[in-house]
Structure 1
Amino acid sequence: MLLCRVSAVSRTFASWGRGSLRGGGLLHRALSFSSSRCHDVGSGEGSAQPAETGSARALYRDTVLLPRTEFPMKLTGQKLLDRELEIQQKCGFADLYSWQRERKAKKEFCLHDGPPYANGDPHVGHALNKILKDIRNRFEMLRGRQVHYIPGWDCHGLPIELKALGELATSARAFAEQAIARQKAAFQRWGVMADWDQCYYTYDGAYEAAQLKVFQEMHNKGLIYQDYKPVFWSPSSRTALAEAELEYNPEHVSRAIYATFPLITLPPKITSEAAGLENVSVLVWTTQPWTIPANQAVCYMPNAQYSVVRRADNSQLLLVATERTASMAALLGTELESVGLFTGSQLEGGICKHPTITDKEVPLLPANHVTMAKGTGLVHTAPAHGMDDYSVASHFKLSVECMVDADGKFTDLAGPELQNLSVMTKGTDKVISMLQECGALVKEEQCIHSYPYDWRTKQPVVIRPSKQWFVNTASLKDKAKEVLQKVRILPESARGSLLAMLDRRTYWCISRQRSWGVPIPVFYHRETGEALINKYSVSHIGKLFKENGSDCWWELPIETLLPAESKAGPATDYVRGEDVLDIWFDSGASWAAVLEDSRADVYVEGKDQIGGWFQSSLLTSVAVRNKAPYKSLVVHGFAISEKGEKMSKSLGNVVDPDAVISGGKVSMPAYGADVLRWWVAESNVFSEVQIGPTVLNAARDNISKLRNTLKFLLGNLQGFDPRVHAVDPKEMHYIDQYMLHLLREYSIKVTDAYSEYDAGRVIRVLQAFIARDLSSFYFSIIKDRLYCDPKDSLGRRSCQTVLEEILDGVTRSIAPILPHLAEEVHLHAPGHDEEGTLFKSGWIKSSSVWRRPGLEEAVEGACAIRDSFLSSIPGKNPAQFDLTVAIEPGLLFELMESLQEEPTSTSSQLAELMMVARVNLTSELPRDLPPDAQLSHGTFLINLEGEESCNIIQSFVKCCF
């Protein structure tokens, strides 16, 4: 009767999973079994069984303990959305952050929030960033740490100012507040844990005062200064820009030219070799012809070799780098005959005539920035319009006169022919025309190259000198690099980019010609223009900002702004400055307002912040505190379309996170917040992250499979209270102890993955645990004991104890990623008060008692035998077989005896594991085997206190009922 009942139950619950079995651990199968079939009797599984009647099925159903739970298998559409909002309300999502801040904790975990820009609706980039942060915060809170996470917003700057001006109906502050409200609501809907009533905003008076304190300390140390030098200038925005405010267009098209500068004074070192070289012209190349009127020199590389060449088509003599002669000949379409050879150092002292400005002479000067990759090896130098050019001018005391105004047009200094022409368009046309007219234009070509654009207006910028405020980053770089070496960076490959960005930044322009921002607290004398800024004036203004906000700079009278102790004389002799601070200085000083004197455990932002917030935060903190503001950096990629394209409204591939959650388009059902969170977690966030219907459908399906497993666990725990019914591990069946051993391993792997910011690995470990260890292994083995043993029997309670531990461990392990699902499961799970929430009850509970390496050998040895057995009876029910296992005397035999003490058994733990009717365990194969027996042979290696090889013979005897 028992065998019949087992068979029936096995068929009923086969859908819960039965497949390949686990092996590994310390035991490895060395040789595959070779199966030898004697002869087959019968026509397959169940062939000899009588048909079951309805009453028989009912009878069997009443004798088994079927799983029961109100936990739904599937939630879709509006029911899913309503359930998530209900979970948020019932489980106190809004109060969780405040609760954990008030509890006692030994350690604090601080994730400092990089402020998103308050100028638009929430997008998938926000979702990627905020959810990634929340996963880590929830993990740390579950581990018992007190999480410090204050969300913030970057509220100043040109985009907000332009949008506010464009809409006319609102102020910049009101526009930013509206954007913040929309973004904040979205972040809350995604389940992001924070005290949303206590955020930081860069337009708050207290924040601005903290920022001014950073400015003051840097100014006191001489790190902030005013100077007239070239900066990136956006004519479309009419303001200076920092490197981090640029984006490079790789498809920019320039009109590149080759032009001649006649050599009117030969270099002294080559006069003795100058016969026939009286009419040489220096040939230069530039992609910015409009800068020719501002030329002050032509630079050469001192250690390079230069040639005077004669054109075969017109006998013109040109001076070019020898290395560039061949490419120049091909470009000009003529042969170039070398008539003189010199080193770069021999060119010192040569003087050229400016091609378009009468009587202007320009010197030949050495410079290390000259390269041979393109052009002629001789560089046209306009100090007002190039960073390297400016360095040459500073060294040789050249003029840095600017001929371009704030609108990007030539001034009167460029002459009447060029005045008021836009340098990038009509100005370029006119300069090329002038070069052609004077015979200096040798060649014009289109050049497609990377060129800086204003990241806000998407228009090209120019380099022009202007009187600005700068941070002397050159004096900070060495210390910044030193402290950066002590910072943990994920991925490590991002470290090189951070260091390279620091190297490229010789100075940082921090002044902007706008009104919506934190004013630079400087006064200028009405008559002399001399700047007044000192610790008294800045400290006083900081107090005013803290009390009234920075708008008071524009509203209060000068007498109120300028304190008497600043020793300025009459306040009426001064005017307030009109520049504001770069928003990267705004956000880069956030550590001072939010962290105060401490350091964050981590900053987590996109790779665009390598040259932005990561760097501005580092430089300001090193300048003031001599240390980095963060212990770790996590650099993630961008969200892109499923086709790998950058998201763009024009391409129609923008994914709206609100539509992902609530549904919208035809191809976008309501996925809910947990699917969005699973997408973030499962992605390789250290590269570009793809999103679209395919990815989201896969995430939804994976969560459905997870719900299936959780429902199975909950259903089989009906009537079980771990506080009353739990079985001590020492009294459990070995297979149950073994599962606790595997659960402990699982919890360690999951904890390690979260600690490495690798939520994707968490999901992979979870899926492997469910598919291999649970569905295909444990669930398939225990179902008979679970459904058929008496309700309160030791065997069944042992199994339920493990199922409850698995349910609890899996639920807690997914909680940082899927907080809504985790809390929903927790509401249905046994053993805790209904009003309690999972997030207030800690991380995965794992005991060192669960570690059983010896037991692992026994169970995994049996599993390896079972693998061979099941592979030899494909498609057949193992419960219809008697299994004889013959093992040579030794360690493996002793391990199997721990699972079955008797020589033969229908109810031993070994029989349960093999899922067969009976197991006969012997040290030698019986001589009187039935004629229908199937034989398999195998050899196993066991590594437990040394190695031992065991020969195993299995006999499978088919049973007919």
Structure 2
Amino acid sequence: MLLLRRVPAVSRALAGWGRGSQGVGGLLQPAVSFSSSRRHGVSSDGGSTRPSEGSAPGGLYRDTVLLPQTTFPMKLTGQKQLDRELHIQQECRFADLYSWQRERKAKKEFCLHDGPPYANGDPHVGHALNKIIKDIRNRFEMLRGRQVHYVPGWDCHGLPIELKALGELGTSGLSPLQIRQKAREFAQKAIARQKAAFQRWGVMADWDRCYHTFDGSYEAAQLKVFQEMHSKGFIYRDYKPVFWSPSSRTALAEAELEYDPHHVSRAVYVTFPLIKLPPQMDDSKLVSVLVWTTQPWTIPANQAVCFMPNAQYSVVKRADNSQLLLVATECTAAVAALLGTRLEGVMTFTGSDLKGGTCKHPTIPDKEVPLLPANHVTMAKGTGLVHIAPAHGMDDYSVASNFNLTVDCLVDEEGRFTEAAGPDLQDLSVMTDGTDRVISMLEDCGSLLKEETWTHSYPVDWRTKQPVVIRPSKQWFINTASLKDKAKDALQKVNVLPQSAKSSMLSMLDRRTYWCVSRQRSWGVPIPVFYHRETGEPLITEHTVSHIAQLFKEKGSDCWWELPIETLLPPQVSKAGAAADYVRGEEVLDIWFDSGASVGCGSDSRADAYVEGKDQIGGWFQSSLLTSVAVRNKAPYKSLVVHGFTVSEKGEKMSKSVGNVVDPDTVINGGQDLPAYGADVLRWWVAESNIFSEVQIGPGSLDSARENIGKLRNTLRFLLGNLHRFDPPSQAVDSKDMYYIDQYMLHQLRDYSMKVTDAYSEFDAGRVVRLLQTFITRDLSSFYFSIIKDRLYCDPEDSVGRRSCQTVLEEILDGVTRSIAPILPHLAEEVYLHAPGHDEGETLFRSGWIKSSSVWQRPGLQEAVEGACAIRDSFLSSIPGKNSAQYDLTVAIEPGLLFELMESLQEEPTSTSSQLAELMMAARVNLTSELPRDLPSDALLHHGTFLINLEGIIREDSPYSIAVVPTTAARCPRCRRFTAESVDCLCPRCHSVLSQSH
């Protein structure tokens, strides 16, 4: 005891410790950490390491052993699994859960704003990934006592729905109202199918109160956002280039574009002869500016040629024909290789020296085009000189705006050259025949220097997959240039997972100059504007928009086509007799404005989270941000979670033609060579996936999920079986009276619960799964279960030791069940129905989160048990593959702190029933200060040290030695431990148990 006298804190910490089967009295302080906590023992199913001894005792004493009993099924497969999940949903009132939690009192609210899925088809695994990620977080927040705000929604407008609804009918001969009716019916059917699937997956919501972007009330709220942005000057009408889809005959926003990386263009090198040379050049020399373009069809619309002001340019002479060309000096070598000739430098100067030069247009006689500076010119490919067609390029339009160039559109809505392009080009498709004809014209006039095929990324319509063109038209725009700095500042305050997604979103905002929000379709929210019959000037005021919004709220937006214009206009306008001077607009709003106007939780507060796929970085995340910043001067969300797409197990994009599409309905109900997995397997697949990358799904991942749930189910069954006839309120043992190993497991359970809570809070269900599997495999199956089976099965039913163990098992069962509930709600509720200590009709999700106690964290207790674990490791490693129960173990520790810790687990010098003997799983444990000198010759010796770090007080390596010898005791016929005096004789413990029972 000298050490304890020198360290009073340790003495006080250990003073309250009981001996033998008694527990720890009082909180153990101060903390001590150990260097090792490896465990050995049993398989993951909780089976004992004793080959034969782990089985149930037979013969005479079988009925005296308290083996596990439970009606909880070991395995549910096929239709039984499906029926059980549906029964759980019904019995545990899944449908009422969201409404129940909204009505209860809660100090905090958690708002996860639902990004509306598109109502244009059947539910798919992408839906499953997204909705289950959201539901896992919502269920966790509800369990921890927060009031969850989650209203599912659907994006119901737009071209894809319109096209699918009309099918082969097309729009020929149909009125806008007929088109809208068919599109609405199609969307409603898709919503019904998707909603049923979401409910089957166990997604918690009030499914009778969802939002749909075609609801009149939603459309009215959207118009108020539109009006406020218009009044602030963020929405305006202008004639400028937009992405135009000839296949859909409508303008597109950037978010509605996809990029085909394999698009092949006919790229050309074209000469523009200089007719007015810059002062630095010799007037006697005929020089041609050389430009390169992948869009030859834009040459007829050319208005200028641009150069980079700070770059170097050279006049070079071709060695093969003496032609003089003007190119960027940096591009000379590449051009020479392309032409297959040597280029000799004639003169070199800076780009700014080209200012004032003028070229001859290659295909239009007598037309002159200026040389102009521009910052968008690059040297990455081409000649360092770029031709400018302001009507058909975004950067080109910017140049035109700066230098007052005309913006002449030569392309109609079908992507064909107009009459203005000339008789040789009129009616030709610019992407096919028109390109061919322009190249022929360049060749005929001697301006075509070289043609090549060029494979590059090119924008296509996100639905028709056909190429788009850039053409100007009068459209309604949001001036994102004036919003993006505010939007970027707001985004910097948002927590984005993964962080790389924030960088992507910021760069997209940087590149976006304006947002076209008008569409030339029928199925959408009409832009609330009237146009003067004669002047074409728009009429849009706060009063007109408010009046229309109220009509939409009452009647829906179909009234835009149903009501006379006198009714659509506010009374003060109609009464003044001005209604006859106006016509209603025929354009609808971009669907990204539809969904972006939803803005958070429908109040002035920000949503706690938006959770969508990575395609929404340029879509809903951005449209929501821009509208919210415009209207409320802040981001609509506190956090963004950006998940990946679902792919096949080979990492391939899913495609019906390839045959690798995984249907979530098939996953649950079986079919297409897949068994019926049920909803919880689908949810486990989502939870254990790395959602921030591409998420793979297929038979392999689904089988693995089912197998892992099966292992978990077996562990839960073991816990339930050993709680048979245990009544927690009346039979639970206070933690301070428990065995040390039991208290230690409560300590571990609390640590587990805190880590799980943190993981759920960070949208990291994958970490929850890993924590769960580690806790079950390492802490329970391989360690605790192997140690306690003897006490559970063979001690008296009402003994303190057995009740102590059952108390901990009940806490573990409860904690593990609650920890998996957000991921596996059906399994969690099924376990809860079988678990002891609950009132009739009570459900897990109405009873809260893991109820761990800070009292369970006992550092001093942890030191004692984990110190013994280090010695146990040495013992088990000295008899690899052998049955530890057949050996006697002698532990020798010099007097000191480690000895006192072990003495607290075994007061007597030798014991077969101490807590130390139980933990070692040996026949007998001898605790001494030094190894005896008369050890038998077959004794196995092992020496080790254990680091004790008593923070702020002492740090020491405590050496220990062990001696392992085969036991001389006989095996007890009841408990199968080697603690009996002779064969067929009960050990003292079992003899006492049976004596008390008679």
Of 170, 183, 193 in structure 2, the residue corresponding to residue 182 of structure 1 is 193
Establish whether residue 807 from structure 1 lines up as the match of residue 813 from structure 2: yes
Q: What CA deviation, in whole Å up to 9, does each residue of 1:547-579 have, x standing for no partner?
A: 000110011000000114358851011100000
Rounded Cα–Cα distance in structure 2 between residues aligned with 1:934 and 1:482: 69
The answer to whether the 8 A contact 1:404-1:464 is kept is yes
Of 236, 242, 251 in structure 2, the residue corresponding to residue 225 of structure 1 is 236
The answer to whether the 8 A contact 1:31-1:938 is kept is no
- Report the equivalent of 2:630: 623
Q: CA deviation at 1:25?
A: 8.5
- Report the equivalent of 1:10: none
Rounded Cα–Cα distance in structure 2 between residues aligned with 1:613 and 1:958: 71
- SS at structure 2 position matched to 1:590: coil
The answer to whether the 8 A contact 1:636-1:686 is kept is yes
Equivalent pairs, count:
916
The answer to whether the 8 A contact 1:211-1:590 is kept is yes
Please identify, of 561-570 and 365-374, the stretch whose mean Cα deviation from structure 2 is larger: 561-570
The answer to whether the 8 A contact 1:259-1:442 is kept is yes
- Report the equivalent of 2:520: 513
- SS at structure 1 position matched to 2:823: coil
- Report the equivalent of 1:114: 115
Establish whether residue 591 from structure 1 lines up as the match of residue 599 from structure 2: yes
Of 503, 506, 512 in structure 1, the residue corresponding to residue 510 of structure 2 is 503
Coordinate RMSD, CA, aligned:
1.7
Rounded Cα–Cα distance in structure 2 between residues aligned with 1:633 and 1:724: 47
Q: CA deviation at 1:46?
A: 9.4
Shift of the 691–918 alpha-carbon distance from structure 1 to 2, 3 Å rule, reads same
Q: What CA deviation, in whole Å up to 9, does each residue of 1:816-860 have, x standing for no partner?
A: 000000000000000002311100000001000000111111100
Rounded Cα–Cα distance in structure 2 between residues aligned with 1:382 and 1:29: 73
Q: CA deviation at 1:483?
A: 1.1
* Structure 1 residue identity aligned to 2:598: S
- Report the equivalent of 1:205: 216
- SS at structure 1 position matched to 2:58: helix
- Report the equivalent of 1:577: 585
The answer to whether the 8 A contact 2:32-2:948 is kept is no
Within 5 Å, which residues of 2 pair with 1:505-584?
A: 505-566=512-573, 570-584=578-592
Moved over 6 A (4+): 44-47
Runs of 5+ consecutive residues of structure 2 not aligned to the other structure: 1-30, 40-48, 170-177, 971-998
The answer to whether the 8 A contact 1:30-1:939 is kept is no
Q: CA deviation at 1:930?
A: 2.3
- Report the equivalent of 2:45: none
Establish whether residue 872 from structure 1 lines up as the match of residue 873 from structure 2: no
Within 5 Å, which residues of 2 pair with 1:23-62?
A: 26-28=33-35, 57-62=58-63
Rounded Cα–Cα distance in structure 2 between residues aligned with 1:302 and 1:895: 81
- Report the equivalent of 2:46: none
Please identify, of 883-892 and 805-814, the stretch whose mean Cα deviation from structure 2 is larger: 883-892
- Report the equivalent of 1:716: 722
Q: CA deviation at 1:895?
A: 0.5
Rounded Cα–Cα distance in structure 1 between residues aligned with 2:493 and 2:62: 65
Of 835, 851, 856 in structure 2, the residue corresponding to residue 845 of structure 1 is 851
The answer to whether the 8 A contact 2:38-2:873 is kept is no
- Report the equivalent of 1:759: 765
Q: CA deviation at 1:597?
A: 1.8
- Report the equivalent of 1:855: 861
The answer to whether the 8 A contact 1:622-1:628 is kept is yes
Rounded Cα–Cα distance in structure 2 between residues aligned with 1:29 and 1:564: 83
- Report the equivalent of 1:323: 330
Establish whether residue 632 from structure 1 lines up as the match of residue 639 from structure 2: yes
Rounded Cα–Cα distance in structure 2 between residues aligned with 1:729 and 1:163: 65
The answer to whether the 8 A contact 2:37-2:866 is kept is no
* Structure 1 residue identity aligned to 2:122: D
Rounded Cα–Cα distance in structure 1 between residues aligned with 2:427 and 2:500: 48
The answer to whether the 8 A contact 1:534-1:566 is kept is no
- Report the equivalent of 1:651: 658
The answer to whether the 8 A contact 1:25-1:860 is kept is no
The answer to whether the 8 A contact 1:661-1:676 is kept is yes
Rounded Cα–Cα distance in structure 1 between residues aligned with 2:717 and 2:463: 50
Within 5 Å, which residues of 2 pair with 1:265-344?
A: 265-267=276-278, 269-270=279-280, 273-274=281-282, 276-277=284-285, 279-344=286-351
Rounded Cα–Cα distance in structure 2 between residues aligned with 1:46 and 1:467: 83
Q: What CA deviation, in whole Å up to 9, does each residue of 1:331-371 have, x standing for no partner?
A: 00000011111211110111101010111110000001100
Q: CA deviation at 1:59?
A: 1.9
Q: CA deviation at 1:138?
A: 0.1
- SS at structure 1 position matched to 2:316: strand
Please identify, of 915-924 and 205-214, the stretch whose mean Cα deviation from structure 2 is larger: 915-924
- Report the equivalent of 2:956: 948
Q: Percent identity?
A: 80
- Report the equivalent of 1:156: 157
Q: What CA deviation, in whole Å up to 9, does each residue of 1:217-274 have, x standing for no partner?
A: 000011100000000000000000000000001000000000001101112x31xx41
Rounded Cα–Cα distance in structure 2 between residues aligned with 1:894 and 1:400: 91
Q: CA deviation at 1:497?
A: 0.5
- SS at structure 2 position matched to 1:282: strand
Rounded Cα–Cα distance in structure 2 between residues aligned with 1:408 and 1:723: 78
* Structure 2 residue identity aligned to 1:824: E
Rounded Cα–Cα distance in structure 2 between residues aligned with 1:317 and 1:872: 89
The answer to whether the 8 A contact 1:29-1:939 is kept is no
Q: CA deviation at 1:882?
A: 1.2
The answer to whether the 8 A contact 2:37-2:869 is kept is no
- Report the equivalent of 2:274: 263
The answer to whether the 8 A contact 2:888-2:967 is kept is yes
Of 760, 778, 785 in structure 2, the residue corresponding to residue 772 of structure 1 is 778
- Report the equivalent of 1:41: none
Establish whether residue 391 from structure 1 lines up as the match of residue 398 from structure 2: yes
Of 894, 897, 903 in structure 2, the residue corresponding to residue 891 of structure 1 is 897
The answer to whether the 8 A contact 2:160-2:463 is kept is yes
Rounded Cα–Cα distance in structure 1 between residues aligned with 2:210 and 2:663: 24
- Report the equivalent of 1:99: 100
Establish whether residue 79 from structure 1 lines up as the match of residue 85 from structure 2: no
- SS at structure 2 position matched to 1:816: coil
- Report the equivalent of 2:225: 214
- Report the equivalent of 2:22: none
* Structure 2 residue identity aligned to 1:120: G
Rounded Cα–Cα distance in structure 2 between residues aligned with 1:58 and 1:502: 78
* Structure 2 residue identity aligned to 1:152: G
- SS at structure 2 position matched to 1:822: helix
- SS at structure 1 position matched to 2:348: strand
Q: CA deviation at 1:872?
A: 1.1
* Structure 2 residue identity aligned to 1:110: C
Runs of 5+ consecutive residues of structure 1 not aligned to the other structure: 1-23, 33-43
Q: CA deviation at 1:60?
A: 3.0
Rounded Cα–Cα distance in structure 2 between residues aligned with 1:827 and 1:526: 71
Within 5 Å, which residues of 2 pair with 1:398-477?
A: 398-477=405-484
Q: CA deviation at 1:485?
A: 1.1
- SS at structure 1 position matched to 2:599: helix
Rounded Cα–Cα distance in structure 1 between residues aligned with 2:373 and 2:902: 85
The answer to whether the 8 A contact 2:50-2:885 is kept is no
- SS at structure 1 position matched to 2:370: strand
Rounded Cα–Cα distance in structure 2 between residues aligned with 1:775 and 1:260: 79
* Structure 2 residue identity aligned to 1:415: G
Q: CA deviation at 1:292?
A: 0.2
Establish whether residue 243 from structure 1 lines up as the match of residue 244 from structure 2: no
* Structure 2 residue identity aligned to 1:177: Q
Rounded Cα–Cα distance in structure 1 between residues aligned with 2:128 and 2:780: 32
**What is the TM-score when the length of structure 2 is the normalising length?**
0.90
- SS at structure 2 position matched to 1:463: strand
- SS at structure 2 position matched to 1:197: coil
Rounded Cα–Cα distance in structure 2 between residues aligned with 1:203 and 1:501: 29
Shift of the 175–199 alpha-carbon distance from structure 1 to 2, 3 Å rule, reads same
Q: What CA deviation, in whole Å up to 9, does each residue of 1:9-52 have, x standing for no partner?
A: xxxxxxxxxxxxxxx982115999xxxxxxxxxxx9999x9xx9
* Structure 1 residue identity aligned to 2:436: D
Establish whether residue 700 from structure 1 lines up as the match of residue 706 from structure 2: yes
* Structure 2 residue identity aligned to 1:235: P
* Structure 2 residue identity aligned to 1:751: T
